[in-house]
Amino acid sequence: MLERPPLSLYIHIPWCEHKCPYCDFNSHEASSPLPESEYVNALLEDFKYEYSRLEDLDVELISIFIGGGTPSLFSGESYKYLLEEINLKLPFSNKIEITLEVNPGTAEAGRFISYREAGINRLSIGVQSFDNNCLKQLERIHSAEQAFNAIKTATSAGFTNFNIDLMHGLPGQTIDQALNDLQNVIDRRPTHISWYQLTIEPNTKFYRKTPILPVEPVLKNIQDEGHKLLESSGYKQYEVSAYATETYASIHNKNYWSFGDYLGIGAGAHGKLSLISEAKLIRTRKLRRPDHYTSALNDRTAELIEIPSGQIALEFLMNALRLKDGFSRRQFETRTGLSLDEITKGVESLVNRGLMQRTSVEGQLFISTTPKGYLFLNNVIGEFL
């Protein structure tokens, strides 16, 4: 039976100083001045509309993620006002995680302090590389020195919980360069590291003119050696490209991948919501263009669709199997509204081939990939298509 899962909120800030050639997110180069106040007011109107979709008004937010674009282009004062207004409608969990993505090129001590004062308690710093040549090819607006300084600034401002985004498989990158980047991150001792391979996505500059990337054997060596380095340095992989120390796995990430609910506000933002009374799951997408989004009245929804019943199990698995720990029977059944029998045949086949496993934790059945299956996740998912 479908039950209400935990609720998160995603807030999208669509502007950045420069559109990176690999980026396929809904981001737009900023003009000056930014319509900051106007956009924040639009976000609040959007939030009120999303709030009206909730069936249970006693629900609390377990996490908020402010992404972009470059959210650090906005002031701490704007975020303070935004978060306070949201909190008037929805209570925050006493352990709420509120993350802000920041670009090292926009890092200022006073601004970071103001983010802390606004209630933001976690940063995600988009370093991508500490190699100036790689940064130049990625057309990042910051240097390696600015990246190091941004991390120092964050810790000086009182942030003890922060993520560093790092890419590998960059144009011309060697194994030594990739591992050196990773060691530089580890030496800064963030609580969380997002380490992912550069991929060439449609509708990007790199797709139109693709740079020469490392060949497959080099990419595999980077992945294998990097994983060993992270694990030996105290970072446990809990998701395909996410590593964390101790209890610092991202609450927002885990809720997303475990098929939790999340409201999405901001230009192009996506959301997913369980409607228990109607026994259905919906996904929402907001107007993409910032000017259209800001000038819209009341409803800024560009698309609202019900997830077809025949696709729910597959969508759940595409998310939950990215988590190393997999999922429990109860989680599957309460977040999809389906019986576990829906996937038993596929699971049985994969268990027999050594790609999935069943375990019991405190009397609960858990299903996850084996270490081998985790390396061939696309093949595992393909079993359920």
Question: Residues 253, 1: contact at Cβ < 8 Å?
Answer: no
**CA quadruple 218, 221, 227, 233: dihedral sign:** negative
Return the structure tokens found at 316. Answer: 């759940």
Q: Which domains does the chain have, with CATH numbers?
A: 7-255 (3.20.20.70), 311-385 (1.10.10.10)
76 confidence band (pLDDT: 50, 70, 90): very high
Maximum C-alpha span of the chain: 60
- State the Cα–Cα distance between residues 323 and 227, nearest whole angstrom: 16
Q: Which region among 20-34, 251-265, 277-291, 314-328 has the lowest average model confidence (pLDDT)?
A: 20-34
pLDDT digits (tens, 9 = 90+) for 194-219: 999 999 999 999 999 999 999 999 99
What is the Cβ-side half-sphere exposure of residue 280, based on CA atoms within 13 angstroms? 10
Q: What does the pLDDT read at residue 106?
A: 78
Q: What is the pTM of this model?
A: 0.97
pLDDT digits (tens, 9 = 90+) for 267-309: 999 999 999 999 999 999 999 999 999 999 889 999 999 999 9
pLDDT digits (tens, 9 = 90+) for 357-366: 999 988 899 9
Query: Does residue 107 have a pLDDT over 80?
Result: no
Closest listed residue to residue 299, CA positions, set 310, 312, 289, 286 = 286
**What's the whole-number mean pLDDT along residues 227-246?**
97
61 confidence band (pLDDT: 50, 70, 90): very high
DSSP H helices in 90-232: 109-118, 132-137, 144-156, 175-187, 205-208, 216-232
- State the Cα–Cα distance between residues 325 and 237, nearest whole angstrom: 10
Burial label, 88 (beta-carbon count in 10 A; 0-12, 13-18, 19+): exposed
What is residue 168's three-state secondary structure? strand
**What's the whole-number mean pLDDT along residues 183-194?**
98
Closest listed residue to residue 168, CA positions, set 241, 104, 68 = 241
**What's the whole-number mean pLDDT along residues 79-94?**
97
32 confidence band (pLDDT: 50, 70, 90): confident
Q: What does the pLDDT read at residue 299?
A: 92
364's CB contacts (< 8 A; 6+ apart) are 328, 329, 330
- State the Cα–Cα distance between residues 175 and 196, nearest whole angstrom: 14
In angstroms, the Cα distances linking 157 to 31, 117, 147, 186, 273 are 28, 10, 15, 20, 35
